[in-house]
Amino acid sequence: MASYFLTFSHNFLDLLLESGVYMLFGLLVSGLLRVFLSPASVANHLGQGRFLSVFKASLLGVPIPLCSCGVLPAGAGLKKQGANNGAVSAFLISTPESGVDSISITYALLDPLMTVIRPVVAFVTAMAAGITENLFGNPKNREEIVPDLSCPVDGCCDGRQCPPEEHRSHHTFVEKVKAGLTFAMTEVWGDLVALFFLGLILAGLITAFIPEDVFATLLGGGLSSMLIMLAIGIPLYICATASTPIAAALILKGVSPGAALVFLIAGPATNLTSLTVLLGILGRRGTAIYLAAIVLAAILFGLFTDQLYAWLGLSAQAMAGQAGEFIPMWGKWLGAGLLVVISVKPLSRRLLALVKRRGICCDEEHGPETKAGIQPEQSKAQDGLCASPG
């Protein structure tokens, strides 16, 4: 058992060292996108045209780092602002399947070819789903677009009383960069951090405890491998960033690059929770088109990817993680250390929130005076932190 634990620890640390610098780079870009390219301000491009709006939405979603549940409010907001259903579908697919953070970590843990294939597949899948929805989906009444022009730095103005061209001089470049970094390290990383480390843990466990021949036999390539990966990925809640170390571990165990790509496509873009919410955003027909596009694209591109690696004479297993060789060891340790440092606060908040939900203030079987010694007045004040019964 000790040897398994050592193997797990070694693999966990290796993945953290390989991905640290690239994750920091992805967070930096995501913060700059926030302050220099506000997604809400481009919503007025997504309501006109059955094709151009879908193209813009697909392209917009590729660099934005949001997971399959985090993207739902953004997609709903676009629809309320007048974006058509096809554009919303495209945005809801390309955004969680890709992102600057997941592209960076794909380059670190997998290989340059997969780094290119992944966002391209996300874009093409989003385009196919969006155009199909606009051509064959139920027509919806569209509201006039009222884009959100409020300041992304500190909300100092709504962009109407103070037009955008005038507001550009309100904040210096340094202030914008500082606001972007704050956003990246708090909101973006706060949403990703728990799932990211969970992905590292699962990848370490896969490498340490599951024999190579299991994956090589079941997921070594072919249609059956793709279908198995779809069955695993569709109901699973995992973001694009957290899915990458798992895919890297699977490839090292003998899983074909095409099957790994299926997991990278289906896992981040779907889960049981998001599919139920999509019913309210897109309707039944729109949700069916959304899911069918992901399934078909995953299978077709998965099979094509296996063939592409074979045609080029490349081994995904041999290439995995080679990008990290360009970074010196001290750089890897520095990147991993900084990533751990900025992870302490958001992880602590999540743990504290979990304790508050399940701990001292939610015990309905006892009076307020019996809750771990809390006085009635204190208990009443804390009751607001607890989830309502049921």
Reported as a single tens digit per residue, the pLDDT across 300-353 is 999 999 999 999 988 887 777 665 556 788 888 998 899 899 888 888 887 887
According to the model, what pLDDT value does residue 139 have? 62
- pLDDT for 138-180, tens place per residue? 665 444 444 555 666 766 776 666 665 666 667 777 888 888 8
- pLDDT for 88-117, tens place per residue? 889 888 988 888 878 888 888 888 899 999
**Better pLDDT: 12 or 360:** 12
Q: Residue 123 — very low, low, confident or very high, per pLDDT cuts 50/70/90?
A: very high
Residue 309 half-sphere exposure toward CB, CA atoms < 13 A: 27
For the chain, report the end-to-end CA distance as a whole number of angstroms: 41
Name residues whose C-beta falls within 8 Å of residue 91's C-beta, 6 or more positions apart in sequence: 46, 57, 58, 60, 61, 71, 74, 75, 78, 83, 126
Residue position matching structure tokens 């973006």: 188
Q: Is the pLDDT of residue 369 over 50?
A: no
Rounded Cα distance between 40 and 145, Å, is 11
In the three-class reduction of DSSP (H, G, I as helix; E, B as strand; rest coil), residue 238 is classed as coil
Residue position matching structure tokens 């992102």: 99
**Better pLDDT: 357 or 225:** 225
Tokens of 24: 């920091």
- pLDDT for 260-281, tens place per residue? 999 999 888 887 667 776 777 7
CB 209 within 8 Å of CB 70: no
Residue 291: count of CB within 10 angstroms of its CB:
17
Torsion of CA 171, 30, 86, 283, to 10 degrees: -100
Q: Is the pLDDT of residue 371 over 50?
A: no
Residue 164 half-sphere exposure toward CB, CA atoms < 13 A: 11
Residue 97 half-sphere exposure toward CB, CA atoms < 13 A: 35
According to the model, what pLDDT value does residue 144 have? 45
Q: Is the pLDDT of residue 384 over 50?
A: no
Residue 54: count of CB within 10 angstroms of its CB:
29
Rounded Cα distance between 176 and 183, Å, is 11
DSSP track, 207-231: HHHS-HHHHHHHSSSSHHHHHHHHH
Q: Residue 127 — very low, low, confident or very high, per pLDDT cuts 50/70/90?
A: very high
Average pLDDT over residues 78-97: 80
Rounded Cα distance between 63 and 126, Å, is 13
Name residues whose C-beta falls within 8 Å of residue 324's C-beta, 6 or more positions apart in sequence: 17, 18, 108, 109, 332
Residue position matching structure tokens 């873009």: 269
Q: How far is CA 59 from CA 45, 56, 281, in A?
A: 12, 5, 21
DSSP track, 261-302: HHHHHHHHH--HHHHHHHHHHHHHHHHHHHHHHHHHHHHHHH
- pLDDT for 236-259, tens place per residue? 767 777 788 888 888 888 888 999
Amino acid letter for position 61: G
Rounded Cα distance between 238 and 258, Å, is 19
| Per-chain mean pLDDT for the chain | 76
According to the model, what pLDDT value does residue 381 have? 40
Name residues whose C-beta falls within 8 Å of residue 103's C-beta, 6 or more positions apart in sequence: 26, 63, 115, 118, 119
According to the model, what pLDDT value does residue 108 have? 82
- pLDDT for 185-221, tens place per residue? 887 788 778 777 877 787 778 767 766 666 667 777 7
Tokens of 81: 């602002």
Q: Is the pLDDT of residue 135 over 90?
A: no
Kindly report the backbone phi and psi dihedral angles of residue 37, in degrees, each rounded to the nearest multiple of 5, phi listed first. -145, 90
Rounded Cα distance between 67 and 98, Å, is 9
- pLDDT for 49-77, tens place per residue? 778 889 988 998 888 776 665 676 667 65
Rounded Cα distance between 316 and 106, Å, is 12
